[in-house]
Amino acid sequence: MFYVIKRILATIPVMVVVALFVFCIIRLGPGDPASVIAGDYATAEDIQEIRIKLGLADPIPVQMGKWFVQLASGDLGKSYHSNMQVTKLISQRLEPTLLLAVTTILLTVFVAIPLGTLAAYKAGSWVDKFVMIFSVAGFSIPVFVLGYILVYIFAMELRWLPVQGYRSPFDDGFLLFLKHITMPAVTLSVIYIALISRMTRASVVEVLNEDYVRTARAKGQSEFKILLRHALPNAAVPIVTVLGISIALMIGGVVVTESVYNIPGLGRLVLDAVLSRDYGVIQGLILFFSFIYIFINLLIDLSYTLIDPRIRY
Amino acid sequence: MFNILTNVRGQIVGGLTALLMGGMSVFSFAQAGGHESVLRVIPHADLKNLDPIWTTAYISRNHGYLIYDTLFAMDSDFNVQPQMVDTYTKSDDGMNWSFTLRDGLMWHNGDAVTAADCVASLARWGKRDGMGQALMTAMGSMTAVDDKTFTFELAKPFGLVLESIGKISSNVPFMMPASVAATDAFEQITDFTGSGPFMFSKDDWVPGSTVEYTKFDGYNPRSEPASAAAGGKLALVDKVIWTYFPDQMTAMNALQTGEVDFFESPANDLAPLMSANPDITVEVNDPLGNIGFLRFNHVLPPFDNVEIRRAALMAVKQEDYLAAAVGDQAYWSTCYSVFPCGTPMASDIANDIIQVADTDKAKAALTAAGYDGTPVIIMQPTDIPVLSNFSLVTAQKLREAGFTVEVQAMDWSTLTSRRAKRDPVSEGGWNIFHTWWIGADIMNPTSIAFSGNPDAGWFGWPTDPVSEAARTKFFVAGSLAEQQELSSIVQNQAWTNAFSGHLGQFFSPVAYRNNVKGLIKSPVQFFWNISK
């Protein structure tokens, strides 16, 4: 518990550094929200007037000070464009991204770990080669290409699934949710299935060569039990580590997937905010993502103690 | 952060409860809307700003047309017709105007629209819009005489009173309740009560994704048939839902499968794919189209020299730009008037200057102008394919003519802030950028595109007192002939002094399912009178 509290407290300076970095890097970059807001036909005077009203004409340290005061009161700020609270924008978009990520992770775990374990068990066989070829292909194919291929087959030709959009399981029904999330989740998970199945294979192959596995075999345990009770738990630490990193990296993957499938999630919110130089939203979102990233890392570290009793904090 | 977690926790708990309580219903294909008729639209851009006076963005203008109404409106013959106004009078000298509102005009909250609301709305619009500012400069007083009548007393002659308050494009003088119109013109409004044919609910708005408009049963349309922005605005569907698609291919696929009904601005190269589908109609709905612009920076070398600007224009050819950026010739035509071809002010005055299209002549002119090899910085917005291609064509043509050219790639947002800089190139300045104007915005010299005033003009800042004088006179011109004469002067100056390069007229098609009926031909996409 002390370790957990220590880790949670340690996030505070990390978040402060992230906030500082994000604030500075955005201001150093080219572009200006006022010119985007004013529109194509505004004059320089109009743009300057809008800059003043938005507080963008203030010196950078003043702007930074105001933002930190806001943050201290739990306010992530407002969108310069929509005038909406960043927290509201995030809460509007969180469900699609969260459920896309969860579905993707479930799909990844349920496909990649058995696949990798099977490849390890049948190392050197055609099954192993097939899994490895799939893995290389999964790594190589860009998300958007795979997305369009799936759309063409399952939405345009077979008409089994919709081209785009998101339906909430809570508001629209579970089946409708499933129909809309299937292709995006498959598209996004392929690269992670490729990664985790390779990782699983490598870890399990290593474990299968250990003395205790040989001992288990000598004692007459079935191969299934050996894999399930001895190989997988001992191979789990690196798999969980990669899985955790994958979840964090998924933040990047959802941007493309959400664009291809027109899902109104956080990935697209980031992209839109960057393109329109919506400083308030960019800052708020990066802080939010940093928090998620740190939280996931904490969960991974804590999960080690469950997987491997030798690990203690 | 706590707010987000609370909201999400609420959503999840509520959702799980619904899942548990709903039994089999959770497996239903519940569709929002039930028996409502819903027009599902892919708009040309994401609606980021809700205040069409605060921004000139076209998407905000289109949003404005759905929820607000206007005093006057332009019909398909470019004539201004009364819209919210029932009757109006003007004195013989044009200095005193009186307007009476129609009966039955109502805000979405049920309150009656009053003359005081209209006066307040005009005052706010007059602080932001170019024509509005000109009108307010001439205005002595605007007064609400009673609930339905208001008057203008001009302090000096102004010939474009109706053209100003009946303008069709940004910033459109939309009428808002006086309490809303009291908002500072440089700050966004927060109350979106209008009196237009549809209502907007901010709670259902997901920026970057979805906007919903619901039919306003209390709207009292005019009896005349719809004609561009004028005439009766009949809401023939219960809801209009805009869903923004960042990806054109996904948008096209969604239209093909019937997940959406109307695609406002498909890329021209997708048109053949959609035309091949018998369930989809692809057509040009905007008769004026867009006019491509090559804008010089007049305050920095080498384009502070008019002879060098003219040499550059000699090197380029509209067909090259249009073929590269638009492609299919069905969607473009050359046009050598500064005002859109086919509109009342269009003419061929001095247009031989921009039809040279001869590299050898451009080289000779460049040498004669004393070009010293100063690099030309072209800003290339790579996220807008049409403008990106325009930039590349210009770069190639100028290089062939002997210019030293540097193309700097950037996104449009960067370009819009950088073009406002008058600094030298070494400090972030620029020499050329490209854009387009919609035809409706440059139909006469009042557009800021033709300003010759470097202090208050548009980016590029040309200096031309003759043109500026003609523009000023245009505001008080009494007859069409007089307006055309002044427009000719502006065009002559624009070409002679090479304000900008005109890259031709091009048209963006719309695409829609065949069950969608009643589209109005107009430079602006309207959603009334459409049924499905």
pLDDT (average), residues B70-91? 96
- Which residues in chain B have their CB less than 8 angstroms from residue A26's CB? none
pLDDT for B26 beyond 50: no
Contacts of A38 (CB under 8 A, 6+ apart): A46, A47, A50, B55, B56
What distance, in Å, lies between the first and last C-alpha atoms of chain A? 9
| pLDDT the model gives residue A181 | 97
DSSP codes joined into one string, A45-86: HHHHHHHHHHTTTS-HHHHHHHHHHHHHTT---B-TTT--BH
Lowest mean per-residue pLDDT among A42-51, B195-204, B243-252: A42-51
| pLDDT the model gives residue B30 | 38
**B46/A155 CB distance under 8 A:** no
pLDDT for B384 beyond 60: yes
Contacts of A303 (CB under 8 A, 6+ apart): A240
State whether residue B409 is helix, strand or coil.
strand
pLDDT for B204 beyond 90: no
**A49/B26 CB distance under 8 A:** no
Q: Yes or no: say if A102 and A296 are a contact pair by the CB < 8 Å rule.
A: no
User: How far apart are alpha carbons A255 and A252 in whole angstroms?
Assistant: 6
ipTM reported for the complex, 2 dp: 0.86
Q: Yes or no: say if B60 and B47 are a contact pair by the CB < 8 Å rule.
A: yes
Domains with residue ranges and CATH for chain A: 86-307 (1.10.3720.10)
Average pLDDT, chain B: 92
Task: Enumerate residue ranges in chain A where pLDDT < 50.
Answer: none
CB neighbours (10 Å) of residue A245?
A: 14
- A-contacting residues in B 108-137 (Cβ below 8 Å): 128
| pLDDT the model gives residue A311 | 77
**Cα dihedral value B403, B406, B409, B415, nearest 10:** -70
pLDDT for B25 beyond 70: no
- Which residues in chain B have their CB less than 8 angstroms from residue A51's CB? none
Say if B26 is an interface residue toward chain A (CB within 8 Å): yes
CB neighbours (10 Å) of residue B160?
A: 21
Contacts of A12 (CB under 8 A, 6+ apart): none
Say if B86 is an interface residue toward chain A (CB within 8 Å): no
User: How far apart are alpha carbons B118 and B131 in whole angstroms?
Assistant: 17
**B383/A275 CB distance under 8 A:** yes
Cα B317 to chain centroid, rounded: 26
User: How far apart are alpha carbons B381 and B386 in whole angstroms?
Assistant: 9
Closest C-alpha to B449, from B283, B307, B337, B348: B337
Say if A201 is an interface residue toward chain B (CB within 8 Å): no
Q: Which helix (H) or strand (E) holds B438?
A: strand B432-438
SS3 content of chain A, % helix, strand, coil (to 5): 80, 0, 20
Nearest by CB: B29 against A170, A175, A291: A175
Cα B351 to chain centroid, rounded: 26
User: How far apart are alpha carbons B331 and B504 in whole angstroms?
Assistant: 11
- In the sheet with B96-101, reading across from the earlier edge strand, the strands are B85-90, B96-101, B149-154, B139-144
Nearest by CB: B250 against A30, A85, A163: A163
Cα radius of gyration rounded to whole Å, chain B? 25
Say if A89 is an interface residue toward chain B (CB within 8 Å): yes
Residue B89 phi/psi, 5-degree rounding, is -135, 155
State whether residue B280 is helix, strand or coil.
strand
Amino acid at B280: I
Nearest by CB: B417 against A35, A89, A170: A35
| pLDDT the model gives residue B9 | 45
Choose from B9, B21, B48, B455 for mutation: most chain A CBs within 10 A: B48
pTM: 0.87
Choose from A11, A152, A160, A170 for mutation: most chain B CBs within 10 A: A170
Q: β-strand B239-243 against B38-42: which pairing, if any? A: parallel
Nearest 5°: CA angle at B509, between B505 and B510? 145
Give per-residue burial for B408-433: e unless 16+ CB within 10 Å, then b: eebbbbbbbbbbbbbeebeeebbbbb
Query: Which is it for the CA torsion A310, A313, B5, B9, positive or negative?
Result: positive
Q: Yes or no: say if A188 and A100 are a contact pair by the CB < 8 Å rule.
A: yes
Count the residues in chain B.
532
User: How far apart are alpha carbons B136 and B140 in whole angstroms?
Assistant: 8
- Residue B180 has what DSSP assignment? H
pLDDT for B460 beyond 80: yes
| pLDDT the model gives residue A202 | 93
What percent of chain B is modeled with pLDDT above 70?
94
**A162/B25 CB distance under 8 A:** no
Nearest by CB: A84 against B3, B16, B207: B207
Query: Which is it for the CA torsion B295, B299, B301, B306, positive or negative?
Result: positive
Question: pLDDT (tens digit, 9 = 90+) per residue, B303-321?
Answer: 999 999 999 999 999 999 9
- Which residues in chain B have their CB less than 8 angstroms from residue A259's CB? 246-247, 250
pLDDT for B28 beyond 80: no
Q: Which helix (H) or strand (E) holds A88?
A: helix A86-121
Domains with residue ranges and CATH for chain B: 2-45+197-282 (3.40.190.10), 72-181 (3.90.76.10), 290-506 (3.10.105.10)
Tokens for B496?
Answer: 């002679």
For tokens 């980021």, name the residue.
B48
Which of B51 and B7 is assigned the larger pLDDT?
A: B51
- Which stretches of B402-448 are DSSP H helices? 412-418
For residue B171, whether the previous peptide bond is cis, meaning omega lies within 30 degrees of 0, is yes
Nearest chain A Cα distance for residue B71, angstroms: 23
**Cα dihedral value B149, B150, B154, B157, nearest 10:** -60
User: How far apart are alpha carbons B348 and B336 in whole angstroms?
Assistant: 7
- Confidence band for B34, pLDDT divided at 50, 70 and 90: low
Tokens for A304?
Answer: 């080690």
- Which residues in chain A have their CB less than 8 angstroms from residue B449's CB? 41
**B8/A46 CB distance under 8 A:** no
| pLDDT the model gives residue A44 | 79
- A-contacting residues in B 239-278 (Cβ below 8 Å): 243, 245-247, 249-251, 253-254, 256-257, 259
- B-contacting residues in A 272-291 (Cβ below 8 Å): 272, 275-277, 288, 291
DSSP codes joined into one string, A180-228: HHHHHHHHHHHHHHHHHHHHHHHHHHHHHTSHHHHHHHHTT--HHHIII
User: How far apart are alpha carbons A90 and B253 in whole angstroms?
Assistant: 28
Tokens for A157?
Answer: 């030709």
**A41/B56 CB distance under 8 A:** yes
Closest C-alpha to B484, from B159, B172, B135, B92: B159
Count the residues in chain A.
313
pLDDT for B2 beyond 60: no
User: How far apart are alpha carbons B495 and A135 in whole angstroms?
Assistant: 62
For residue B344, whether the previous peptide bond is cis, meaning omega lies within 30 degrees of 0, is no
**Is A308 buried (19+), middle (13-18) or exposed (0-12) by CB count in 10 A?**
middle
- Which residues in chain A have their CB less than 8 angstroms from residue B55's CB? 37-39
Which of B361 and B57 is assigned the larger pLDDT?
A: B361
Task: Kindly list the distances between the CA atom of residue A203 and the CA atoms of A23, A190, A210, in Å, as whole numbers in the listed order.
Answer: 41, 20, 11
